[in-house]
A and B are shown apart, each in its own frame.
Chain A
C-alpha cells in the first residue's frame, strides 16, 4: 500500500495562472481532506470530501478555490488566478469510512506551491 499519493511535489505558477493539486487516497479509503500550511504555521483544514460529495468546506476561501473527488480518479484541489499569498504547502489526508469509528487520517507528502 503506497499510502496517500500527492502530485506534483512542487508546483511553480505565475500570478494569475491556475494551480491543480492531485491526491490519491490510500487503497480502501473513501474520505479525503485537504489542509494548507503557511510558512511557520500549523496545518489549517480546508475541505473534507467523500466520493462525488463535498461534506465540509468551512475552511475553503470563498473565491478562487474549489475541490472535487470524482467517482473515478484522484481528488483535485484547484486554485484559479493564483496570488502570492497562495504560496504554501498543501497536504492531503485520507481515512476509511465513517462506519468504522475513530479512523485516523493518513497524510501525503504534500505539494509545495510557489507563486512567482
Chain B
C-alpha cells in the first residue's frame, strides 16, 4: 500500500528552523517527483517546493533561499529544511507525489502543522 508518513512539525519562534520528514512506503521515493504543499489557517492550498527524480529542486518565491529539500534514498525519506521561519510560514504542510511534469498529485501525506510564533 502506498503511504506517505509525515513528521517533524511543531511550534518554533520567528527566525528559527524546523525539519519536516516525509517517509514513503509501498513505493520508491526516488522514482517520483515529490512536492511540498502548504495550507495556511483558513486558506487554500499553496505549492511550496518539489524535487524531481534526478534531484532537481524548485521553490516558491516566498520560501526560496530559506527552505531546502533533501532526500535519503536509503531511508526512502524526504526532508524539508525550513530556516529563517516567519509567522506567515504557519501552515499545515503536506508532502505529495506525482509522476512528473503535468501529472496529478495522486498520493498525499497526512499533513503536519508548523506554527511560527513568539
Whether A associates with B in a native complex is: no
